[in-house]
Structure 1
């Protein structure tokens, strides 16, 4: 895969709405752009934590143990459903609905990370794939910032949607994604 193809493949995947992007937009709509910057760092770190072992070691192991893949999907579906409920319920005064920890865990469980690590990233030693990992980190940061900007500016209280509507819409997207993951376990 050429560098241009790699860039387009990664951006197409990362800019597609999903659980992490929903949290980025909802969190930024509630807290603003600057307060949401730690979400970008959490997302980059989580993707790298998943992608590096997959691209360097785990690809052959996961194909040998299909139950491990099913367990990962089940865990991801449960976490995403939990986040959907948390977004749907009214915000309590004690905790924010979205935090960097939520973005980090959701990204760790996001199937996009597995697709990147097993399909898009080249496989090999850490030294061999290092330049693509650096490019990947930059693309993740750029995609993350675009979702944060979308949430902070387009969906803020002064924007078209009110925060409560955005939280509910985010909850519906997350619940649908959780159901999609669960249904993929049945096939």
Structure 2
């Protein structure tokens, strides 16, 4: 079984970071409403499960040949997340994303999630490697993963819709930047400590 469940805090922090999938959810919520957009959450969940599984399989297969690949992937994905935290979602970025995708379909969200670098971060550094030792552990971790993904997706639908509708003029990009960067750094500490 999993020895420590501290990775849950890191999962929450990574999910809350603005990214392409969150922008699609926000755009869809603004265009089609939250109830209709919430039907897209299974496509996002499936995209993450496929991407994490593929990255984990790749890491497992290359480990005998190049054992330090996981360290490199972990560092690269962590650098990506920190870079995202310091170049956070500005409302102009969200507006342009909203204009490019007038109607979001489940396959768009699935492929956006499948290509999302957050999946690499989950596979290489956040989700415990021992989860793959038993199907019970895999099921429990992905259940927790789902229980975190659903409220965070709903949060981005509500928050993104409010930004696109112009209801949150008092929230500026630097508030988002400081809050997300602080949350990310605090929640990533247990993962970094466990990794090193």
> Is 2:110 the partner of 1:104?
yes
1:32 to 1:89, Cα distance in 2 relative to 1, 3 A:
closer
Structure 1 residues 119, 90: CA separation in 2 closer, same or farther (over 3 Å shift)? closer
Are 1:27 and 1:151, in contact at CA under 8 Å, matched by a contact in 2?
Answer: no
* 1:52–1:159 Cα change, 3 Å: same
Note the C-alpha offset of 1:126.
4.9
**Map of 1:68-87 to 2, 5 A cutoff?**
none
C-alpha distance in 2 between matches for 1:131 and 1:89: 35
- Identify if the C-alpha distance between structure 1 residues 122 and 47 changes in structure 2 by more than 3 Å, giving closer, same or farther: same
Q: Structure 1 residue 130 and structure 2 residue 139: aligned? A: yes
Note if contact 1:30-1:156 (Cα within 8 Å) is conserved in structure 2: no
Shift of 1:139: 1.0
Q: TM-score, normalised by structure 1?
A: 0.62
How much has 1:88 moved relative to structure 2? 5.9
Contact in 2 for aligned 1:29/1:151 (Cα 8 Å):
yes
Q: Distance in 1 between matches of 2:18 and 2:164?
A: 18
- Indicate which of 117, 125, 131 corresponds to 1:119: 125
User: Which deviates further from its counterpart, 17-26 or 119-128?
Assistant: 119-128
1:89-138 per-residue CA deviation (whole Å, 9 max, x = no partner) reads 967xxx83422221111000000011101211122235133211211121
Contact between 1:23 and 1:98, CA under 8 Å: does it hold in 2?
A: yes
Number of aligned residue pairs: give it: 139
What SS does the corresponding residue of 2:128 show, helix, strand or coil?
coil
Query: Structure 1 residues 54, 158: CA separation in 2 closer, same or farther (over 3 Å shift)?
Result: closer
**Distance in 2 of aligned mates of 1:121 and 1:89:** 31
SS at match of 1:155: helix
Corresponding position of 1:30: 31
5+ residue gaps in structure 2?
74-92, 170-196
Partners of 1:52 and 1:126 within 8 A in 2? no
Does residue 155 (structure 1) correspond to residue 163 (structure 2)? The answer is: yes
In structure 1, what is the Cα distance between the partners aligned to 2:167 and 2:26? 13
